[in-house]
Structure 1
Amino acid sequence: MTIKPIRNLNALCTIPFGTSWPAHISPVMLQLPDLPTMQLVLGAAASLGVVGVIRTFLPKSTNSLPLPPSPPNWRLRGHSLPLLNPQLTVGAWIDEYGPLITIRSGTEKIVYIGRYKAAVDIMEKQGASVADRPHSVSASELFSNGQVLAFVHVGETFRRMRRALHTHLQPKAAEAYEPLQMTYAKNTVLDILEDPVNFQKHASAYSSTTITKITYGKNADDSEVAGGRQFLMTLFKVVIPGAYLVDTIPWLKYLPWYGQDLKQDHEDNRKLFTGQMSRVKKQMDANEDIGPSFGRYMLENDYGLTESEMAFLSGSFFAAGSDTTAAGICTILMAAACFPEEQAKVQAEIDAVIGRHRAPTFADQQSLPRLEAFISEAMRWRPLGPGFPHRATKDVIWGNYCIPAGTTVVGSHWAINRDPDVFPDPHAFYPQRWINDKGLVRDDITSFLYGFGRRICPGQHIASRSLFINSALIFWAFQLSLDPTKPVNDMAYVAGVLPMTQPCGIEFTKKISDSEIRRMLKNYPEGASEV
């Protein structure tokens, strides 16, 4: 019998206990042509058992309270989460086992938070204790090389990066970009007039153009947008527990053939981000009038960051803000088409406040609570992204449970937004839940769309404005309905990255004549308030 070499270590380590070995794998001898490499693989695999014995009980706490309950599991690598919509699996476990659960990924214990009160108590009120990130070989080393803010540990570098972003993107500073956002949102409406079928393409054009202009003061380039999308796809993949075997067997990072995709992604990102920043620097050195941008702001202000750190900070902001914003806009449009009765209520409000003689602006935002509630409900209905892991730096007590220092903690946006105690009938689309007795938007609940505590997305004020102005203009101009001839996948945008194929067809019926829309948008936003 010829023994075939193992090419898929992930497959080897997912064989459950009690399951017979695949016919092509010998449990006695594993043959690879390169003996030193084979010895290293075997050493790594053998060490997994030793490390598992040592670390199964780690991190430890002197507190006698237990970890949250854990779903049954007999796999060597721990609990299995699918790469596609892992939040559904976590949500089902939360429903069955309680507001907090513990899963195992290799030798690592991960606590998922799936209910609203627990999220507030742990991620917000005790946010300082869970502001750190866990170390991940795939994310922190191979993919980011310690330079992507999302994976930087709490410390001086993190504080400098965070200070730079928050100073430039705080609410008052973000207001300066409103005219830019209105201009590009106007283009979205005009694009839909010309080509209503490809709404996802138009949302992508808005988000990529806006974030590129804000970050670098330039128009979007297709290759740069594609590079940013690849960055985001990998970013969301590496945070899924068990996605990469190297996080269970760290020795694998020393194998030259392992993790080539992650290493190549890092090199591609380095070239893209440093190239973008080099262009801004050259323009500044040549005294060109490039206007304001985050890249320029970074170069003009000393935050104690290296050139590489500045490049990755700007690049991460650019890449993270492109597809996620477009996915948010598309989610809102899809919700409007799926729930026409709720769309009609929003449009009645827009008609009453705005009328048919001018286009909405940011000045109308406080007068459109139903629109704000609709956006909040859409983001609760289909929250974006898998949720980023945090790390407890000291014991966190919640109820009768203790999350020991060193434990990974993840807030499950999907499960939290389906907490029936806070969101009754959670699977229903009900924007009214966000309106208080006075008819105003509630300020006592949130969907945690932008994350938790000290790790909250620094670009939230830019992103929330983009969602508002695009929704306001599109709902003002069109009535949306599903194309009955096309299939609908209402989960397509929850990954936070635009799918390759548009997940539904939406028909855009003009509420105002084509010529009137174009006339009112001709001088928008400068003439937006003119009647």
Structure 2
Amino acid sequence: MPTRRGVGYKIYASQMKLGWIRAAKQMTSELKSHSNSSDPSLSFSPSIMFQLPDLHISDNTQLVLGAAACLGVVGVITGAYIQLEVNRSESGLPLPPSPPTWRLWGHFLPSRTSFLTIGEWIGQYGPLITIRVGTEKIVIIGRHKAAVDIMEKEGEALADRPRMIAVGEMLSGGLLLGLIPVGDRFRRMRRVLHTHLQPKAAETYQPMQMSQAKKTVLDILDDPYDFHNHVITCAATTVMKIAYGKDTPTTAADPAVKTVRQSLDKVHIDLRPGGYLVDTIPWLKYLPFYGLELRLAFMGIRRHYTSQLNIVKQQLQSNTDVVPSFAKFILENGPSYGITELEAAFLAGGIFGAGFTTTSSAICTVLLAAACFPEEQAKVQDELDAVIGRHQAPTFADQESLPCLQAFIYEALRWRPGPIANGFAHRTTKDVIWENYCIPAGTTVFGNHW
């Protein structure tokens, strides 16, 4: 026996069929009458209208349509309310202006070019803007003066990081220092990291950097078309020496370089505001099928960082002469800093990953700027010829005597920022007032580099 829904559908279909048959007969008869008439004013017009029969909608269908309409109205009202709330702060001062959006989930940012979209908004709405991801408000700083006033002068209020579940926890296991909120682990890891990254410690790396720089210049002169790989080799070899004490060159084709580059590429993409739904709905993290690509990527990078640290560990256990490095230092002194081996592996790996990507990117950007602006390059060359001459290479000691060169480098890096053009997320620990705007405590703040 057919169901009620089946009977209704058959009645509906039969009514449709009869309606079309009647309409076709009516049109045919009118066409015949017009064709038999000698009056040209009665010629056929395509505007002949016919009426379809009334269609009866079942009670269930009406209920569904009514519910959908109600949900639509609720969505519009909710979106309007959130849009109003995003421009309001508890201090009475408004938040920075927000680009309009009627998407219920907030502003949309493309995965690979989010910094370009943000740059357009900054140009249109001002040096500070507010965007919304779900119910979270995110303030983005896009101009130098605002960045100095807020992120430097009010730096203490922005020293914390927001909880980044997708990138900070699922992708990196809460072990990448740049993504960890302020807490016990952050303090322990930062304390041991500073032993090798303070200005005094960095000065000891200068001879090695000079040696690699000279070699890279010769490599580029010998094979200019492969300059990118030469630069990566220079940066990777230098940072690998600092992190793990490796003496042999580390080329762009090295598995360690490829693994870290792939991992950091994913971090750079996923760091964009609103990249993952789990950052707004935290319980999604506990669903076994959610974010599998993040979990697999974490397993891969953990395996890689651990294996690199184990190489140095085996060298220490074999009583061979081990070249000084950060990995050697942390294996020998980590327990006194309260550092576990897994934390040590990610600290050493973080030095390598962050060091070689930013260094190679900066060098390539300066080379690109020199090629694109030859007249400015000529000015820098004139300064080098006047101060250094053409029979020796400039050193770190000559830096203050080369203001034109420094300005060229700074402008090149402003022109094309580093690999993380959106910047890292910060979290305000108190209300920050800038001009006539208020950034409330607990707000996520990005300094957009583009």
Letter in 2 for 1:345: K
Q: Say whether the 8 Å CA contact 2:104–2:134 is kept in structure 1.
A: yes
Letter in 2 for 1:249: I
Q: Give the TM-score of the pair, scaled to structure 1.
A: 0.66
How far did residue 171 of structure 1 move?
Answer: 1.4
Residue 379 of structure 2 aligns with which residue? Answer: 345
Q: Say whether the 8 Å CA contact 2:98–2:129 is kept in structure 1.
A: yes
How far did residue 116 of structure 1 move?
Answer: 2.1
Higher gyration radius (CA)? 2
The 3 A distance-change label for structure 1 pair 76 and 391 is: same
Letter in 1 for 2:442: G
Residue 237 of structure 1 aligns with which residue? Answer: 269
> Which residue, out of 63, 66, 81, partners 2:91?
63
How far did residue 57 of structure 1 move?
Answer: 5.3
Residue 367 of structure 1 aligns with which residue? Answer: 401
How far did residue 131 of structure 1 move?
Answer: 1.0
- Look up the SS of the partner of 2:225 in the other structure: coil
Which structure shows the bigger proportion of residues in helix conformation?
Answer: 2
CA deviations over 1:51-90 (Å, ceiling 9, x no partner): 9999995999642222111110011221111222322221
Residue 402 of structure 1 aligns with which residue? Answer: 438
Identity score, percent? 60
Residue 88 of structure 1 aligns with which residue? Answer: 116
Q: Distance in 1 between matches of 2:199 and 2:259?
A: 28
Q: Say whether the 8 Å CA contact 1:59–1:404 is kept in structure 2.
A: no
Letter in 1 for 2:444: T
Letter in 1 for 2:170: L
Q: Distance in 2 between matches of 1:288 and 1:51?
A: 66
- Look up the SS of the partner of 2:445 in the other structure: strand
Q: Distance in 2 between matches of 1:281 and 1:197?
A: 39
Q: Distance in 1 between matches of 2:375 and 2:78?
A: 59
> Which residue, out of 159, 162, 170, partners 2:187?
159
Letter in 2 for 1:406: G
Q: Map 1:408-423 to 2 at 5 A.
A: 408-414=444-450
Q: Say whether the 8 Å CA contact 2:216–2:230 is kept in structure 1.
A: yes
Q: Give the TM-score of the pair, scaled to structure 2.
A: 0.77
1:135 correspondence with 2:163: yes
> Which residue, out of 134, 137, 149, partners 1:109?
137
How far did residue 245 of structure 1 move?
Answer: 2.6
Q: Say whether the 8 Å CA contact 1:122–1:398 is kept in structure 2.
A: yes
Residue 152 of structure 2 aligns with which residue? Answer: 124
Q: Distance in 2 between matches of 1:258 and 1:173?
A: 43
Q: Distance in 2 between matches of 1:365 and 1:66?
A: 44
Residue 329 of structure 2 aligns with which residue? Answer: 297
The 3 A distance-change label for structure 1 pair 191 and 256 is: same
Letter in 2 for 1:104: R
Residue 256 of structure 1 aligns with which residue? Answer: 288
CA deviations over 1:120-171 (Å, ceiling 9, x no partner): 2211111111111111221122111111111111122212222222231111
- What are the ranges of 5 or more consecutive residues in structure 1 without an aligned counterpart? 1-27, 29-48, 415-531
Q: Say whether the 8 Å CA contact 1:79–1:105 is kept in structure 2.
A: yes
Q: Distance in 1 between matches of 2:230 and 2:417?
A: 21
Q: Map 1:256-335 to 2 at 5 A.
A: 256-301=288-333, 302-335=336-369
How far did residue 174 of structure 1 move?
Answer: 0.7
Q: Distance in 2 between matches of 1:96 and 1:230?
A: 34
- Look up the SS of the partner of 1:72 in the other structure: coil
Q: Map 1:180-259 to 2 at 5 A.
A: 180-218=208-246, 219=248, 220=250, 222-259=254-291
Letter in 2 for 1:371: L
How far did residue 271 of structure 1 move?
Answer: 0.6
Moved more, 55-64 or 133-142: 55-64
- Look up the SS of the partner of 1:197 in the other structure: helix
The 3 A distance-change label for structure 1 pair 343 and 194 is: same
Q: Tell me the C-alpha RMSD between the 2 structures.
A: 2.6
How far did residue 182 of structure 1 move?
Answer: 1.4
- What are the ranges of 5 or more consecutive residues in structure 2 without an aligned counterpart? 1-63, 65-76
CA deviations over 1:223-244 (Å, ceiling 9, x no partner): 1111110121122122101222
CA deviations over 1:235-287 (Å, ceiling 9, x no partner): 21221012223223334323322211111111011111111111112212223
Q: Distance in 1 between matches of 2:89 and 2:310?
A: 48
Letter in 1 for 2:266: T
The 3 A distance-change label for structure 1 pair 246 and 56 is: farther
Letter in 1 for 2:120: A
Letter in 2 for 1:364: D
